Amino acid sequence: MRKTRGILEATKTNVITNATAKPLTEAMILDLLQKVWENGGIQVSETATLMCAAWQKRQLTNEFVTKKNYQEQSRNVGGVSVSTIETDFGRLNIMLNRYMPADTVQVVSLDQCAPVLLETPGKGFMFSESLARTGSTDKAQIYGEISLEFGPEIAHGRVTGLTTAAPAGGGGA
């Protein structure tokens, strides 16, 4: 059985970890972006992306759009609609991802990412195989393995240990 790790687990160099939960701030994101940029990441503005779940998306919008009176824009990257923000490191995409941990923002240099087709010896990377017969019915399944190559881990970064909700009695973003 093949076992892969995701980009979150692989990102080890450009990491900011808050020991106790802290609200996301512009300075925190800019410090992370600087680390990633200095290590060779986020070089292509069209594919430089911040990936996060819902609460952190709201915090990014608050920090980089609302507080700066910036007109949020959007564009399409690889078939995904993303919003964009202006930072000291160029215009970055924000990609909403329901599978991201709620306390994390991941910096992804999408130009480094590509699908990888994993072949099964003698069968290729996608094939049909018969399943057990039930009565007079023939059953089959289509099987394939596709993974993600994310390039050098230093081209990405993450901040973890962020608050995941407004303080009690607070209004939120």
pLDDT for residue 18: 95
What stretch of H or E contains 26?
helix 26-38
CB crowding 8-46: b at 16 or more within 10 Å, else e: beebeebebeeeeeebbebebbeebbbbbbebebbeeee
> What predicted TM-score, i.e. pTM, was given to this entire model?
0.80
pLDDT for residue 114: 87
What stretch of H or E contains 130?
strand 126-130
pLDDT for residue 138: 87
pLDDT for residue 77: 79
Residues of the chain with pLDDT under 70: 1-4, 169-173
- Listed in sequence order, the residues at least 6 apart from 124 whose beta carbon sits closer than 8 Å to its beta carbon are none
pLDDT in tens, 73-113: 878 777 778 888 888 988 899 999 999 999 999 999 988 88
If we measure between CA atoms, which residue out of 147, 55, 68, 57 comes closest to residue 93? 57
Q: Tell me the pairing of strands 80-87 and 105-109.
A: unpaired
d(CA 33, CA 147) in angstroms, rounded, equals 26
pLDDT for residue 82: 85
d(CA 116, CA 147) in angstroms, rounded, equals 5
pLDDT for residue 1: 61
d(CA 13, CA 146) in angstroms, rounded, equals 26
Domain residue ranges in the chain: 7-113+152-158
pLDDT for residue 75: 80
